Amino acid sequence: MIDQEVAAVQVAVDAPLKNQLTYLQNENFSVSRGQIVTVPLGKRQVRGVVIGPAKSTDLEKAKAAGFDLKRVISVDDEWPALKDPFLKWLEWLAQYYAYPLGRVVQLCFPPLSKTTTARASKRAAVIPTVAARSEHAPTVEQTACIAGIQEHKDFSVHLVHGVTGSGKTEIYLKLFEKVLEKGQRGIFLVPEISLTPQLVHRFAERFGDKIAVLHSQLTDRERTNQWWDIVTGNKKILIGARSALFCPIEDVGLIVVDEEHESSYKQDEKLKYNGRDSAVMLAKFMDCPVVLGSATPSLESWKNAVDKKYHLHQLKSRVENRPLPNIQVVDMRLEKDLPKKSIEKPYWLSQQLYNEMKATLERKEQVALLLNRRGMAHLVLCPECGHTAECPNCDISLTLHAQSHLVCHYCDYHENFKIKCSDCKEGELTPMGLGTERVEEDLKKLFPEANVARADRDEINSRAELEELIEKMEQSEIDILIGTQMIAKGLDFPNLKLVGLLLADIGFNLPDFRSSERSFQLITQMSGRSGRHTKADENPGQVIIQTYNTTHDSLLFAQNHDYEGFVQNELNHRAQLNYPPFHKMTAIRVQSLSLQKVKDTCHVMSQRAHAAKEKFAIYHDIEILGPAQAPMAKLRNQFRYHLIFKHPQSQRLNQFVSFLLGDESWVESQVKVLVDIDPMNLL
């Protein structure tokens, strides 16, 4: 008879369970840590990963509870076993972000079996065939940065702060060259799919077929093939969005997180992890350097650099001494007082921006306009009774599209646009505000000879469409590009000489402590698209920012290209209120179809939190905010409240939240309690 104490293992199963389950070894084979297995769970079979041998206490608990231990059914031989240190990183993720380990592990596998067939696709190749191009000699600043990073062979974190156009990508390429020379592999993270086409071309020119790409716009077959290519070692560098971290790669010698400040590195659903922070921890477990790069680093990363936890490397000049763009701010409040010109221009376009656009187009140069709002108008309103068309599922106004239908950008609810007010039956609904679709329509009338294109999630629905748009911009087939923030990050168009920011005020006053930081980053990043290839002796690129609030901090500092001034000013505000990066933060969101159940659950949770704070000395200095209605009080028919906890130490805060939610039997039925560690969005 098999000794149960030797033959039992702990398995993290694909189920919403906080703890691992104990299973007996199969009578015909044994399993060990990291192997992917199938085990029984209730009346079904689920996948899981073996964490290690069961302890005698695990068996005693099972026996005391009257459980009849079941056996492992089979080993999934298709997937490679997850080895340390990668598996230790997964365990850290589950613990830190308060999410079931078995569910975390499921993110490590490709969507299809290795042998699953799929219909042939006519889509563009994942990795383009690109001719190698001549390399530029690195600048003095680039050389110093590369040397400074290469001094560190083991785990170390490096923040590369370089102005837009300073050649950060070239630094990454040089570092990856050294990694490949050592026979190691690398991971390169980008925040969004919109950045990958140009970057993949740059990497393909340098590394040929040694790169693999993973992101959401690939087909399941493409993603599966790319996954196997990098896991088996056929490819050496993995380029991808945040989920690329879950590819179980061995011999990692370098991880790079480009545009590290981007909020899109944070996953908002299920496992609410931050890709940047998780990349730092993966590098720690892999014992290799990690490089974070940005022209506008997050306040968290900047403070870590100032505190000497990270190594800071700065690039203060553009390559070849190319000039930074000239930034001008236009006060839209004064536009109505300007004398009328012969040209009938739309209300949202200042005379100064119109003049610059006209002159730029006459020089056969390109213009890009940023408006971080889709559609024709962001709301429709009845001037008779004040009624606005709102989404029945969400606490938000519907956006008018194509003058014909109203859309919710959160739950995708649609309805036809009816002019007669449904509330008072007398007034007519009038479009209010501005969206990218309206701007495109107005510009086609204003500049009929120009080729106008729009880049937002309504217009760009696939990888092929995005790549086509970028290629047309590179070939100067587009004269005016209008887009949301997807055009503000990392893209490099040689002939783009004028950038305009419409309604720059949109993000200034959102009910989120990061609104100023995000506004500064967006303004600086978008401004950095202008005049990137202008020579030192030529006129710099132009940036015109239209706003109704000309004195906002983010504007004043961005206008002077003063990142360090902005960040010091913002840090002073954050310190006074115990906001990150000075304190850690955890948000608990409570949501349900029933508003009363949400309120009742929040009341009990608040009582438990305050009681724990009073009873245990280690929790005395935890700050409790709320419960309060979330700024977006209803989303997809779910009412939403939240509580926020703050403390200088993440470990103490996580311990408090685990204690608070350790036994969820008190939670009302049909109520979801969602934990968000280090939240990036409090809306």
Decide the pairing of beta strands 311-315 and 289-294. Answer: unpaired
Q: What is the domain-level CATH number for residue 638?
A: 3.30.70.600
Looking at the fold, whether 562 and 659 belong to one and the same domain comes out as no
> Is the confidence at residue 343, as pLDDT, over 90?
no
Which range, of 124-138, 245-259, 585-599, averages the lowest pLDDT?
124-138
Q: Is the pLDDT assigned to residue 559 strictly greater than 80?
A: yes
Q: What is the pLDDT of residue 319?
A: 87
- 124 found inside a domain: no
Determine, yes or no, domain membership for 126: no
Q: Is 33 or 531 the better-scoring residue by pLDDT? A: 33
Residues 605 and 524 in one domain: no
Total of domains in the chain? 5
- pLDDT higher than 70, residue 266: yes
125: in domain: no
| Range of weakest confidence among 109-123, 433-447, 572-586 | 109-123
pLDDT of 66 higher than 80? no
Is residue 359 situated within a structural domain? yes
Task: Return the percentage of the chain with pLDDT > 70, whole number.
Answer: 95
**What distance separates the 2 farthest-apart alpha carbons in the chain?**
97
Asked whether residue 279 is domain-assigned, the answer is: yes
Q: Which residue has the higher pLDDT, 491 or 354?
A: 354
Judgement on whether residues 352 and 397 belong to the same structural domain of the protein: no
114 in a domain, yes or no? no
255, exposed or middle or buried, with CB in 10 Å at 0-12, 13-18, 19+?
Answer: buried
The stretch 654-666 carries a mean pLDDT of: 86
Between 340 and 115, whose confidence is greater? 115
Domain-ending residue, one of 523, 546, 573: 573
Predicted pLDDT at 131 = 66
Domain holding 75, by residue range, is 4-108
Is the pLDDT score of 120 beyond 50?
no
pLDDT bracket for residue 403 (50, 70, 90): confident
Domain boundary among 573, 604, 624: 573
pLDDT band at 376 (very low <50, low <70, confident <90, very high): confident
Confidence bin at 125 (pLDDT 50/70/90): low
Please report, for the domain that includes residue 166, its CATH number.
Answer: 3.40.50.300
Lowest mean pLDDT among 86-90, 455-459, 533-537: 455-459
Instruction: Give pLDDT, residue 1.
Output: 34
The CA distance from 261 to 302, in Å, is 10
Q: What is the pLDDT of residue 2?
A: 39
What is the C-alpha separation between 520 and 525, in angstroms, rounded?
Answer: 8
pLDDT score for 124:
54
CA-closest candidate to residue 93, choices 250, 281, 230: 281
In the chain, helix, strand, coil percent, each to 5? 35, 25, 40
Quickly tell me which residue has 């014992």 as its tokens.
287
Residue bearing the bigger pLDDT, 336 or 623 = 623
pLDDT band at 117 (very low <50, low <70, confident <90, very high): low
pLDDT of residue 287: 97
pLDDT, one tens digit per residue, over 519-555 is 999 999 999 899 888 888 888 999 999 999 899 999 9
Within a domain: 366: yes
User: How far apart are the C-alpha atoms of 176 and 185, rounded to whole Å?
Assistant: 8
Residue 456 has which token pair?
A: 């937002």
DSSP SS3 for 410:
coil
* Mean pLDDT for the chain overall: 90
Residue 455: pLDDT above 90? no
Residue 587 has pLDDT above 50, yes or no: yes
Residue 327 shares a structural domain with residue 292: no
- Whether 167 is in a domain gets the answer yes
Q: How confident is the model at residue 18 (pLDDT cuts 50, 70, 90)?
A: confident
| Domain shared by 282 and 148, yes or no | yes
pLDDT score for 634: 92
Asked whether residue 314 carries a pLDDT value surpassing 90, the answer given is: yes
Residue 498 sits in the same domain as residue 351 = yes
- Residue 342 CA, distance from chain mean position: 45
Can you read off the two tokens belonging to residue 527? Answer: 């401004």
Q: Are 210 and 296 members of one domain?
A: yes
Q: What is the 3-state secondary structure (H, E, C) of 243-295?
A: HHHHCCCCCEEEEEEECCCCHHHECCCCCCCEHHHHHHHHHHHHCCEEEEEEC
**What gap in Å lies between CA 35 and CA 515, rounded to an integer?**
44
Contact 543, 530 (CB under 8 A): yes
Determine the pLDDT at residue 5: 44
**Percent above pLDDT 90 for the chain:** 64
Give the type of residue at 626: G
Vertex 414: Cα angle to 408 and 419 (nearest 5): 100
Domain end position, chosen among 433, 450, 471: 433
CATH number of the domain within which 83 lies:
3.40.1440.60
Cα–Cα–Cα angle for 617, 618, 624, nearest 5°?
95
Given a cut of 90, whether residue 127 has pLDDT beyond it is no
Answer positive or negative: Cα dihedral of 151, 155, 161, 162: positive
Q: Does residue 353 sit in the same domain as residue 391?
A: no
**Residue 93 contacts residue 271 (beta carbons within 8 Å):** yes
Does residue 557 share a domain with residue 487? yes
Residues 261, 353, single domain; the answer is no
Residues 8 and 84 in one domain: yes
Rounded to whole angstroms, the Cα distance separating 147 from 145 reads 5
Closest-CA residue to 53 (of 85, 27, 22): 22
How many other CB atoms are found less than 10 A from the CB of residue 494?
Answer: 14
Query: What is the reported pLDDT for 186?
Result: 97
Arithmetic mean of pLDDT, 344-371: 93
Span 7-14, average pLDDT: 94
Residue 462 and residue 596 share a domain = no
